[in-house]
Homo-oligomer: A and B are copies of this chain.
């Protein structure tokens, strides 16, 4: 309701001075600065973001794009993103993007053109599997918008990446199982087009190698990160004559499926079989038994992605931005689904 001119009149200055004060620009005497601030407070001034965006070509908005598949993982990242946006006076907008593989290149470009051109976000946040999509990567190269990618990533020269060392985490978690005496450790893979599947599997394999164990291909099962494929994998694995004593599911949802398969067969967890997951999503501690898993600092990842985007947008010099893309810390969460292998 109140506009800049109202503040200007109240303070007895020009509207440009008000603009300067409210944007913390230099070249205003401190006394005047104070007077203007007081006036703004007085009339309850709130800047109009459309006007600002139109004139300054900065929208003070970050746009997060996720695959059209709900997940606690994405939810947590988004939550972190909103937090940081709010702290810094930014807005978070969210969009869904259906499966990219079914979309012709031209549509994809058009889609992003609309998205980027229309609302001119100051930054884009991409989450898996979008964050590691090669076509999308190339399409976005054409647009002049900073992009932050969350999750494991193997794209060339992608600027802002926020991730943990999934391979090391998987290695560590597998090593833990081995230390408990397990040698027949099954693995349930996730979606094959997601980098997480490969990183986590690689870590699993490295741990086996380091302990001199051989990878038994019959213990590796496909999956899609969904509960039902975990269930299916569990059914298959537990039907094996020589049952695994531990199962590493590439994420928590599939671990829940494995647990259910175990329960149905009246197998004791962790007595008969240990189960671990990955992500420490919300359900991990709510399962029976509570799941040993790898905690990803998803909130912090959302925070960090947003922070870096805002910094990039704020600093005029792009060379300044970019705290190097180091790994965030993960943590192995020990709960009740793992135990020493049973002496038989």
Contacts and interface: CB of A to CB of B under 8 A. Distances in A.
Interface string A31-50: 00000000000001011111
A47 B82 contact: no
A293 to B, nearest CB: 14
A159 interface: no
Interface in A50-64: 50-51, 53-54, 59, 61
A93 B81 CA distance: 12
A86 to B, nearest CB: 6
Interface string A287-304: 111100000000000000
B75 A70 contact: yes
A122 interface: no
A48 B70 CA distance: 30
Interface string A232-275: 00000000000000000000010011011001000000000000
A1 B94 contact: no
A54 B44 contact: no
Interface in A195-232: 227
A263 B260 CA distance: 14
A2 to B, nearest CB: 8
A157 to B, nearest CB: 24
Contact of A286 (B51, B70, B82, B283): B283
Given A93-B93, A96-B86, A259 B283 contact: no
B70 A59 contact: no
Contact of A119 (B54, B91, B259, B260): B91
Interface-centre pick from A54, A59, A113, A285 (highest chain B CB count, 10 A): A54
A125 to B, nearest CB: 13
